[in-house]
Structure 1
Amino acid sequence: MKSRKIMIIVASIAVLLSIGGCTVKQKDDTKQGKTIAASSTKDLKEDGETIKKKQLDYLKEHEQKVIDLVKAQNSKVESVQIDWDHTQWSDGGLTTPEYYMNVYGGINNIEESSWRVDIPINEDSTLNIDEMYLGSYIRVGGKLFE
């Protein structure tokens, strides 16, 4: 019985030490990564801005697909306005780690109208227009448009 307790204690210590060793190794790797990242942050930012511009230009060429998607939500939608100045890029968060381009706009030239379309971004930084969906339903004055 006593030797069994000792075995459990030794095994527990071994597990804790190996977890601690992995944590220290990971911290060392992270520090080295920060040095590399700091030296190329400017280049990455420029590349990121270039990619976003290309994505936005591509979407503008295919804006009719966004308009068609919004119009398909309600037969009362006569016109769709896209607010290109408020386009955003985001990740889906913890539950959906994919990256998205978020496009906003209004309908029927109504000032208080709004909607959002989410467009997945592929691993190669291209937009997956075929998989876009309405991320926020059409609203007018904060209420669902019916």
Structure 2
Amino acid sequence: MNLTKRPEQKVTASSSKKVVQKSEEEIKKEQIAFLKEHEQEIVDYVRAQNSKIESVQIDWTDVRWSDGGFLFPDYSIEVYGTVNHIEDSGWSASMPINDDDSIDLKKISIFNHITIGEEILE
């Protein structure tokens, strides 16, 4: 999957007094804040993928944005993490980004196998 930066975008929100423009960096910070507010939903989704998963850790230092591609044609935000506090475990989940830059948690999906070491967790 080709991960590239979403084109520079400014969102305009109008109020009764002034127009506020948000930079791409501000939008990304808001998106991460939203995901952190909904962390339990992400954790619950990953845990539901396999009964052997007792705990889910999210690596907030590894959040990526994708402009789509063959498998994921829309903009999305991707989060990564581990399971059961095992350092060499891994999972990754993707959530589409709507046209208004909001994240659609209802369409979360695991886009790689959940692994421990080089083995797929089955």
| 2:47 aligned residue (42, 62, 71) | 71
Report the Cα offset of residue 94 of structure 1: 4.3
Query: Are residues 1:119 and 2:92 paired?
Result: no
Provide the residue aligned with 2:113 in structure 1: 137
Provide the residue aligned with 1:80 in structure 2: 56
Superposed CA deviations along residues 18-66 of structure 1, whole A, max 9, x for unmatched, are xxxxxxxxxxxxxxxxxxxxxxx7x79x700000000000000001111
- Separation in structure 2 between the aligned mates of residue 96 and residue 70 of structure 1, nearest angstrom: 19
Answer with 71-80 or 89-98: which moved more: 89-98
- Separation in structure 2 between the aligned mates of residue 95 and residue 69 of structure 1, nearest angstrom: 21
- Aligned-pair identity (%): 45
Report the AA paired with residue 112 of structure 2: S
Report the Cα offset of residue 96 of structure 1: 3.8
Q: Between Structure 1 and Structure 2, how many residues are aligned?
A: 104
Query: Are residues 1:91 and 2:67 paired?
Result: yes
Provide the residue aligned with 1:20 in structure 2: none
Q: CA RMSD in A?
A: 1.7
User: Higher Cα Rg: structure 1 or 2?
Assistant: 1
- Separation in structure 2 between the aligned mates of residue 100 and residue 123 of structure 1, nearest angstrom: 11
| 2:104 aligned residue (125, 128, 134) | 128
Query: Are residues 1:48 and 2:43 paired?
Result: no
Superposed CA deviations along residues 62-84 of structure 1, whole A, max 9, x for unmatched, are 01111011100111111000000
- Separation in structure 2 between the aligned mates of residue 109 and residue 87 of structure 1, nearest angstrom: 19
Report the Cα offset of residue 97 of structure 1: 2.7
* Structure whose residues are more often strand by fraction: 2
Mark the runs of 5 or more structure 2 residues left unpaired by the alignment. Answer: 1-7, 12-21
| 1:5-84 correspondence to structure 2 within 5 Å | 47-84=23-60
SS of 2:92's equivalent? strand
* Structure whose residues are more often helix by fraction: 1
Report the Cα offset of residue 137 of structure 1: 1.6
